[in-house]
Amino acid sequence: MIAYNKLTDEQLVILLKKGDQAAFTEIYLRYAQKLAGFAASKLYSLDDARDLLHDLFVGFWEDRDNINISSNLQSYLFTILRRRIIDKIRKNVTREEYAVMLQSLTTTPYSTTEQLVAEKDLKQQIQKALNDLPPRVKEIYQLSREENLNTREIAEKLNLSEQTVKNQLTVALKHLRQVLGSIVLAAFTLWL
């Protein structure tokens, strides 16, 4: 029987590439806590940190045949996590920027006729973009954004996996960004 906890990272990676689940488990046990601490220190949400870590290890297992580690395993894992954190922060910044823009549309105390027309048009465009989504994607998006449910709560409510919910939210956000990106920016400049 192999004592996985005594193997080097290089040996574990070789076994991992052969589909050895125990080697994967040992890698997880060695690095998950450090990675989780790092992710939690960079993100405001512990749920986001857990999600990133989960996605990192799922991807690590699924892509094990293509792993090419040039330095050491710890550096490799931290580099992947760092990239995912940056992507997450960028997405959150984009979401927050949209929220600020949309909030400004409803809270501007002195609106010109042009601004009111643009606001009405923007709201119609948003609703049209939402209506263009498949029904399930739209439902998941509305539960997330309008009812402020997190991924786990939506998954439980709709009897779906959390990954399915994440995937559907990604589809919805990508669609909204594509459809509304230029419209929102054009409308927002009217309030500047």
72-84 pLDDT, tens digit each: 898 889 888 888 8
| Residue, of 16 and 47, whose pLDDT is higher | 16
Cα–Cα distance measured from residue 170 to residue 190, given in angstroms and rounded to the nearest whole number? 29
pLDDT at site 36: 86
For the structural domain made of 4-88, what CATH number should be given? 1.10.1740.10
126-174, pLDDT tens digit by residue?
778 888 888 998 899 888 877 888 889 999 999 999 899 888 888 888 8
**pLDDT at residue number 119:** 66
Q: What is the pTM of this model?
A: 0.50
Is-contact 180 125, C-beta < 8 A?
A: yes
Domain boundaries, the chain: 4-88, 108-189
State which amino acid sits at residue 89: I
Among residues of the chain, what percentage have pLDDT more than 90?
12
Scan for tokens 């927002």, then name that residue: 188
> Read out DSSP for 61-126?
HHTGGG---SS-HHHHHHHHHHHHHHHHHHHHHHHHHHHHHHHHHHH-SS--HHHHHHHHHHHHHH
Residue 27 CA to residue 8 CA, distance in Å, equals 10
CA-to-CA distance for 54 and 72, rounded, in angstroms?
Answer: 21
Average pLDDT over residues 32-53: 83
Say how far apart CA 63 and CA 69 lie, in whole Å.
12
Domain 108-189 bears CATH identifier 3.40.50.300: no
Q: Which of the pair, 67 or 192, is modelled with greater confidence?
A: 67
The least confident of 42-51, 116-125, 162-171 is: 116-125
**Environment class of residue 64 by beta-carbon count within 10 Å: exposed (0-12), middle (13-18) or buried (19+)?**
middle
Residue 100: what pLDDT?
57
